[in-house]
Amino acid sequence: MALGLCNFNKTGTNNNANKDALSNNYADLHEPLSFLQAKAEADRCLYCYDAPCITACPTSIDVPTFIHQIRSTNLTGSAKTILSQNIMGGTCSRACPTEILCEQACVLNVSEEQPVEIGLLQRFAVDSLFEKQAASQLEHPFKRAKLKEKRIAVIGAGPAGLACAHRASMLGYDVTVFEAKNKAGGLNEYGLAAYKMVDDFAQKEIEFLLQIGGIHIETGQKLGENLSLKSLCDDFDAVFTSVGLGLSNQLGINGEDDDRVIDAIEFIEAIRQSDDLSSLSVGNNVIVIGAGNTAIDAAIQSKRLGADNVTVVYRRGEESMSATQWEIDLARKNGVNFRFYSAPKSFENIQTHNSNTDTYTKTASLECDYMQLDDDGKLTTTGESYKLPTDMVLKAIGQKFDKSPFTELNIENGKLVVSNYQTSMKGLFAGGDCIASGSDLTVQAVEDGKQAAHAIDQYLSKNQYLSKNQYLSKNSNLSNLSEEK
């Protein structure tokens, strides 16, 4: 995909929905809590000893403490508790699938069947700090340690890269972040659904994060094009790579190169970057292929953009979808249909000539095989197929890591192998979606960035590094580090 704005406006019909209706459709998915609502919700927390929500949060936010601080109207303290563990607590409060993380662990699920709304409370606390910041009543809540006169390069300004940069700056390092696109933020800016990240929140969060100082972001700098790994490793004391998953998987079916068959990521990116949603085109009969949260986000957003029919097509059953049940239910509430046990086979584009007007109309359909599980549980075709009329197909069948700039590194299952965030190249660290252990969640990327900054600090301040053997034995950890003379 080209740098900057993508252009999916190559197919579909003109969007007839009016601007007001569209802005309503893309309004905040969750109404933020008022002060009174937040206090009442905070009152529900049992402040458990050894609270399971802390363990369930990948960034280990001290949930009971920040909720208690809301209860006692110490909102700035509450935000600091959150941000000290997760500098992108604002985005995570909007994007975390809390139903499988902190809120799933809440003990109230058992007694009241309704967990504390941890995500909404977190948002309340962080937003209130941001509002005070905007009114210039507060300094940045974190200070930098004594400067260490060492420089760190970060490749990729997504949540992993930015979290690493912020923590490294706190630890006293100067950081330069190299970003391929013309805006920082990664998928916070280009990928999360528009109704989760209203009011340009991704950029506001970056402004906040940069207030700490010592972080310089250079956009339009792409590793493998105008930036080389070798020169970064030569010029900086350590390098952290967090380039995410830059390539989209392909279907490999006939007709896939048609201009009505589009990557869902491109479609979502165009919505996120649009100043005028009514200028975007969307099909009347949209088919989304996939089973993850990207497929769900693309389906809901095309419906909200004005598509008449939106159908998610998936080759297995609903129980095998990787999207959370909450997201699947949300899609249904938005009028999205599902076709299970359906494997796309070919996209056919039919051109009809109208001799009266001497014009051509393009119609198209997606042919799908009916699928079934055989006695061994293996997915096979039934031998029968059907055709769904469509004028826009969105492919959401996963992203993959672009290995091309990293050919000298250890790669397993298509991702970088790390041990304590160190890659197989000395001085080069990695985290976020591009590493083997990445769980493809924003909150995990933030945790990776934070922990990688500490691993880099160990490496730079104590001259500690993993020897090749320690690195290769997957069990190595910080206690196995060797001292370099």
Contacting residues toward ligand SF4, per CB under 6 A: 57, 59, 61, 63, 86, 92-93, 96, 98, 101-102, 118-119, 122, 443
- Give the Cα separation of 102 and 45 in Å (integer): 13
Q: Which does 102 bind (CB under 5 to 8 A by kind): ligand FAD, ligand SF4, none?
A: ligand SF4
- Binding to ligand FAD (CB under 6 A) within 356-375 occurs at none
- Give the Cα separation of 40 and 433 in Å (integer): 37
- Give the Cα separation of 250 and 156 in Å (integer): 24
Among 53, 79, 120, 157, binds ligand FAD (CB under 6 A): 157
- Smallest distance from ligand FAD to CB 221, Å: 6
Piece in contact with ligand FAD (CB under 6 A), picked from 58-66, 106-114, 237-245, 275-283: 237-245
Among 58, 64, 89, 159, binds ligand FAD (CB under 6 A): 159
Piece in contact with ligand FAD (CB under 6 A), picked from 71-79, 117-125, 133-141, 181-189: 181-189
Q: Which does 224 bind (CB under 5 to 8 A by kind): ligand SF4, ligand FAD, none?
A: ligand FAD
- Give the Cα separation of 94 and 28 in Å (integer): 9
- Give the Cα separation of 44 and 39 in Å (integer): 9
Judged by phi (left if over 0) then psi (alpha if -120 to 50, else beta), residue 165 lies in alpha
Piece in contact with ligand FAD (CB under 6 A), picked from 353-361, 385-393, 434-442, 468-476: 434-442
Measured in whole angstroms, how far is the alpha carbon of residue 250 from the centre of its chain? Answer: 20
Q: Which does 299 bind (CB under 5 to 8 A by kind): ligand FAD, ligand SF4, none?
A: none
Q: Which does 294 bind (CB under 5 to 8 A by kind): ligand SF4, ligand FAD, none?
A: ligand FAD
Coil, strand or helix at 428: strand
Q: Between β-strands 309-313 and 285-289, what pairing exists: parallel, antiparallel or unpaired?
A: parallel
Q: Which does 179 bind (CB under 5 to 8 A by kind): ligand FAD, ligand SF4, none?
A: ligand FAD
**Sign of the Cα pseudo-torsion (88, 94, 97, 101, in order):** positive
In DSSP terms, which residues pair with 288 in a beta bridge? Answer: 312, 394
Nearer to ligand FAD, 236 or 465 (CB): 236
- Please report, as a single letter, which amino acid is at residue 324: T
- What does each C-alpha distance from 316 to 138, 227, 312 come to in angstroms? 52, 42, 12
Please name the residue that has the structure tokens 């910080």: 478
- Smallest distance from ligand SF4 to CB 302, Å: 27
Alpha helices in 191-292 (DSSP H): 201-210, 229-235, 264-273
Can residue 294 be called a binding residue for ligand FAD (CB under 6 A)?
yes
Can residue 433 be called a binding residue for ligand FAD (CB under 6 A)?
yes
Determine contact, residues 80/434, Cβ cutoff 8 Å.
no
- Please report, as a single letter, which amino acid is at residue 378: K
Please name the residue that has the structure tokens 């799933």: 104
Can residue 452 be called a binding residue for ligand FAD (CB under 6 A)?
no
Among 32, 440, 470, 480, binds ligand FAD (CB under 6 A): 440
Q: Between β-strands 464-465 and 342-354, what pairing exists: parallel, antiparallel or unpaired?
A: unpaired
Alpha helices in 305-432 (DSSP H): 325-333
- Binding to ligand FAD (CB under 6 A) within 256-275 occurs at 265, 268
- Please report, as a single letter, which amino acid is at residue 138: L
Piece in contact with ligand FAD (CB under 6 A), picked from 134-142, 146-154, 208-216, 435-443: 435-443
100, two tokens: 């499988």
Can residue 306 be called a binding residue for ligand FAD (CB under 6 A)?
no
Can residue 212 be called a binding residue for ligand FAD (CB under 6 A)?
no
Nearer to ligand FAD, 41 or 433 (CB): 433
- Smallest distance from ligand SF4 to CB 199, Å: 19
- Give the Cα separation of 105 and 51 in Å (integer): 9
Among 64, 156, 283, 290, binds ligand FAD (CB under 6 A): 156
Q: Which does 115 bind (CB under 5 to 8 A by kind): ligand SF4, ligand FAD, none?
A: none
Q: Return residues touching ligand FAD (CB under 6 A).
A: 95-96, 155-161, 178-181, 186-187, 191-192, 196, 222-224, 242-244, 246, 265, 268, 293-294, 297, 405, 432-433, 440-443, 445
